[in-house]
Amino acid sequence: MKILVVAAMPIELKAIKEWIKSAKLRNNLSVDYLCCGIWNYETISSLERYLTENKEPTFIWNIWICGYWNKNNEKKSGPIQVASVINIHTEKEMVLPPFLQIESMKTCFSSENVISWKPEFLKIFWVIVNEMYFDMESRWIEFVASKYKYPRLILKIPFDFICEKIEKWKYVELSWNITRILKNLPYHHYLKNILEWIDGQ
């Protein structure tokens, strides 16, 4: 049994690696890690290369940060689980199979670049919803995983408030905050649910 943990940046993998090293795992369980990089085409290339060159994983667990927006400019706390992804360039929606549910299910809007503006077609959503989530990679993790028919779980940690300019000097502070948030995630709860789902198949 092998679980593949996928993230965009090394900083996102570091916390879960540290937790797994200290956890008591099943003897028959192995964990691989894949850093896909930030960008949709890099995500496709990295994940497809891994899946064609390595022993097949039993389950793909994707976890990393995402951008968000809400009407009240409130800081978002807690992870979300991606239930569907809408490509903001084509306006097409991809619905993820509900292999298991362990966090609040949300739609994530996928872009080919960092969103720092309000795309035209999103204006209607801005009016009728209270919150939105954005990233560049979820759609392509789902695309590749579904192509190879691997069960998967995509979790996002809302972090960057879109349409908010970030000065360069703030990136050190942001990195520290990302690390703090990732260290406090309930990895035991996530892994327990994934293993229970695998056992039930």
Across 30-50, average pLDDT: 87
Average pLDDT in the chain: 83
pLDDT tens track for 58-91:
999 999 888 887 777 676 668 999 999 988 778 8
DSSP codes joined into one string, the chain: -EEEEEESSHHHHHHHHHHHHHS---TT-EEEEEE--SSHHHHHHHHHHHHHHSPPPSEEEEEEEEEEEETT-PPP-S-EEEEEEEETTT--EEEPP-S---S-EEEEEE-SS---S--GGGHHHHHH-SEEEEESSHHHHHHHHHHTT--EEEEEEEEEETT----GGGHHHHHHHHHHHHHTS-HHHHHHHHHHHHHT-
Least confident piece of the model among 17-26, 66-75, 122-131, 145-154: 122-131
**pLDDT at position 168 over 60:** no
**pLDDT at position 141 over 50:** yes
What is the reported pTM?
0.86
Has domain 2-188 been given CATH number 1.10.357.10?
Answer: no
